[in-house]
A and B are shown apart, each in its own frame.
Chain A
Amino acid sequence: MTQEMYDQELINIPILVDVPYRFAAGRYMARFLRELRDNGKFYGVRCPSCKRVMIPPRIVCARCHVKSDDWVELGNEGTLEAFTIMFFPMTDPTSGKPHNPPFAYGSVKLDRCDAPVDHFLNIEPDMEKIKVGMRFRAVLKPREERIGDLSDILYFEPVKGK
C-alpha cells in the first residue's frame, strides 16, 4: 500500500442496535385479542356518533372524538380492498428477520366492519390470480397455539366460488 492509498482509506464501523420492547395493549385491544385467542372471533367497536365500526378497537373515534363502547362481532370473511405481492426480503420489525418472498398480503375488510386488517393471503403469488374485490376467510392457528396476537391469524384464504 502506497502512502497515498493509505491516506485515502475511509473507515466504516458496523453497529448492531438490538433493543427489546414490550407494549401494553390496553383494555380495548386486550378484549379484541382475547376474543381472537379464546373464541376465534373478531370484534370491533362502533362509534355512537358516526356509527362506523373500527378495528383496531379504540376508546375514541378520531372523527367524532367521542367514546366508543358498543362492541360488534365481525364476520370471519371479508372483501379484499388492496394487495401486493412482496418480492423483496423486507425485514419483519417484530422479529428482525425477513419473511420469505415472494408472498402475497392484502387488506381484507371483514364483514360488518368499516376498516380492513392486513395479513398474508394464502394464494399463489400471481398478480393475474388476485383481484381487488375477491372474498377471503380468516384461517386461525389451532386454539392451543394462539397467544393473543395478530399472528394467531395464520392467513386469509380465498372463499371458493366468490
Chain B
Amino acid sequence: MKRNVAIIGGGQTHHAARRHDVSQPEMVHEAVLAALEDAGMTIDEIDAVILGNMEFFEGQHMTDCWLADSIGAYGRSGVKITTGGTVGATIIHAGAHHVASGLFDKVLCIGFEKQEEGDTNAILSAVAHPLFGRSMAGAAVGFFAMLASSYMANYGATEKHSAMIRVKAAENACKNEYAHLKLTITVEDVLNSRMLAYPIRLLEMCPASNGACAIILADEKTAKDRCKKPVWIRAMDTAHNEQFVLEWRDTKSTSPRFSEVSASRIYKKLGVKDPKSYYDVIEVYEPATWAEIMWYEDLHLCERGEGFRLIEEGETNIDGEIPVNPSGGVLSTNAIGATAMLRIWEAALQIRGDAGGHQVPKEVRRALATAYGGTCWTALTSLSNSTDD
C-alpha cells in the first residue's frame, strides 16, 4: 500500500431480532456514535463516509441518501457500496484504498442491516440466475444444505460435527455482550432442533439480526498521533467465482475455489507459510455451521476433507491452538450488511486486547477476517498490531 492504513476506532450496536424502538437511520447512528467515541473524535474530523448494506433488503433504495443525516455524510465526501454479504469488508477495503491513496486521512466506514423489515430469503433467492433455477433457489439455507450434503457424502463428516461448531459459537456468544443469540445449548439440542433444509437445522443456521457496525480508518500519521492501539490493515484481497456455475456444489471438484484462491494470494503477499501459527485468531463468515468447516480447509488450517477434525479436536476453541470466531460469529449474530465488518472489528478488538469476555487467552498480534458474498465471492482482510508484518 502507498500509505499504511490503521483502524483507529470502531463500535457496534447491541444486535437483536426486534428493534421497533428505532428506525434504520436511528439504529445506524448508534454504531456511528460508538465508533466516534471509541476513536475520541467528532464527526467534523471525518473526511469521508462510506456506507453499505444488502441491496433492497429493507425495500429502500439509495440508503446513503436516506441515512445521510444519521451517518454524518451531510456535506461530506463518500460513497455507498453494495457487494452482498461481503459488503462490510468491501466497505473497509474501499475506505483503506481512500486512505492509502492519500485522498483522505480519516474515513468512517459503516455497515448495517435491519433484517426484520424485509423478506431476507426471498431477496437472497433473487441472487440466483433469473432464467436458470431461480424458482428453485433456496436462499442461503438451501445453498449451504446442498454444500453440506455433498461434503458429508464425500468426506465422512457427520451432523454431529456441525452441531459441535454450533455449540462452540453459542459458548463464545455468551461471553460477547453485543451478540444477538446467547444460547446455552448442547450437541443434542442442536440435533433435535427443527429441520430447515436437510441436513441444516434451525440451530445450524444464522439468525436474522438487526444491527450496525462502524469503523474509522486513518493514515499512519493520524493513527500514531491519535490512537493508543492502532490496528493495521496489512493485506486485503477479493476473489470471485462464476456466480451461475453450480459446479462448486461438488465439494470434490478440483476447480479453484474463490475463498482458497483469495487466501493463497494473501499468504503469498505476507509470506505466510503456516497460517495456523502465523495468525493468533481468525474470524470467519459462517452463515451456516458447515461454512466454518469449509473455511478451515480454504484457509489451509488443514487439508481438504479434514476440516471437521479440527472441531473434533477442539483446535478452534477460544483457548485452542487457532481460535476461530471467539465472538460467537455469524451463527450468533447476522445483521448481514454489518456482518463482514463485524468480523474485521472483532479481529481488531482481539488485537487491541479489548474483546472483553471473549478475549482469547493469549497474546494476539495478527488476525484474519473473512467474508462471503452470494456465497460466490469473498473479501479477506489481514490485520496486525505492527506495520512490520
Interface residues of chain A, those whose CB is within 8 Å of chain B, are 10, 12, 15, 17, 21, 23, 25, 29, 33, 54-56, 62-63, 81-88, 90-96, 105-107, 109, 114-120, 127, 131-133, 149-151
Contacts and interface: CB of A to CB of B under 8 A. Distances in A.
24 contacts: A15-B59, A56-B132, A62-B242, A81-B250, A84-B197, A84-B198, A87-B194, A88-B141, A94-B130, A94-B134, A105-B142, A106-B146, A107-B246, A115-B247, A116-B246, A116-B247, A116-B249, A117-B132, A117-B133, A120-B136, A127-B198, A131-B153, A132-B149, A132-B153
10 closest Cβ pairs, A-B complex: A84-B145, A132-B153, A82-B150, A82-B146, A91-B122, A85-B198, A82-B249, A56-B132, A10-B20, A93-B125
B196 A87 contact: yes
Interface string B124-166: 0110111111111111011001110110011000000000000
Nearest to A119: B136
Contact of B135 (A21, A95, A116): A95
Nearest to A17: B59
A87 to B, nearest CB: 5
Interface string B251-273: 10000000000000000000000
B130 A23 contact: yes
A57 B367 CA distance: 41
Contact of B245 (A54, A95, A120): A54
Given A84-B138, A90-B142, A12 B247 contact: no
A137 B285 CA distance: 36
A132 B150 contact: yes
A74 to B, nearest CB: 14
A144 B176 CA distance: 59
Nearest to B124: A93
Nearest to A58: B244
Contact of A93 (B126, B195, B244): B126
